[in-house]
């Protein structure tokens, strides 16, 4: 049974979500990739070339590169050196609950394929989406609970209304 799909999560955009996936070119520098990640508050970016999606670059892959070098020059070094060439791709109609095992190991999945990237889903995107799906039901539960136990909440004192003397 399919509940929510990757497309559902992609369509649940916030004002800060770009309309198109933010990518970096295979020949771009690590510095450029880091700048884009900071500007958009992303932890990873798809890396593209004329042939399509080549992989991804992440803060983690950049950190591994920097740690391994005595004098890393991120402004001169191509993202190729920090490229993850085996990102997980899923279709738009992929059930998000089937992604939980993948997202337990990787922080993201790419939506589409190497020839056409529709977007990227992260752990945060899915949790944000699910929170907004569940929130109305939690509110209903709170309302039902307060109706079942009206005496559990302190009653507000009732002020006596002065009456005018009878004529």
Give the model confidence (pLDDT) of 133-145 as tens digits.
888 777 787 888 7
Total-model pTM: 0.75
Strand partners, 27: none
Average pLDDT for residues 111-118, to the nearest whole number?
92
Candidate ranges 8-12, 16-20, 91-95, 129-133; pick with highest mean pLDDT? 91-95
Q: Considering the chain, what is the average pLDDT of its residues?
A: 85
Spell out the domain ranges in the chain.
6-127
Query: Is 39 exposed, middle or buried (CB count within 10 Å of its CB: 0-12, 13-18, 19+)?
Result: exposed
- Residue 17's SS3 state is coil
d(C-alpha 126, C-alpha 73), whole Å: 35
**The domain made up of 6-127 is a member of CATH 3.30.70.420:** no
Give the model confidence (pLDDT) of 46-82 as tens digits.
999 999 999 999 999 999 988 888 888 888 889 999 9
Cβ-based neighbours of 149, under 8 Å, separated by 6 or more: none
């Amino acid at each position: 049974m399919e509940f929510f799909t990757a497309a559902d999560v992609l369509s649940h955009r916030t004002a800060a979500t770009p309309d198109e996936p933010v990518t970096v070119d295979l020949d771009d520098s690590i510095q450029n990739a880091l700048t884009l990640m900071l500007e958009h508050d992303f932890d990873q970016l798809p890396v593209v070339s004329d042939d399509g999606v080549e992989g991804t670059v992440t803060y983690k892959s950049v950190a591994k590169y920097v740690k391994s070098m005595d004098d890393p020059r991120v402004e001169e070094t191509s993202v190729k050196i920090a490229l993850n060439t085996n990102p997980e791709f899923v279709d738009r109609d992929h059930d998000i609950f089937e992604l939980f095992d993948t997202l337990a190991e990787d922080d993201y999945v790419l939506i589409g394929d190497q020839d056409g990237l529709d977007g990227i889903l992260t752990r945060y995107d899915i949790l944000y989406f699910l929170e907004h799906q569940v929130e109305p039901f939690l509110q209903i539960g709170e309302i039902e609970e307060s109706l079942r136990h009206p005496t559990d909440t302190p009653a507000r004192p009732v002020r006596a209304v002065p009456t005018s003397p009878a004529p």
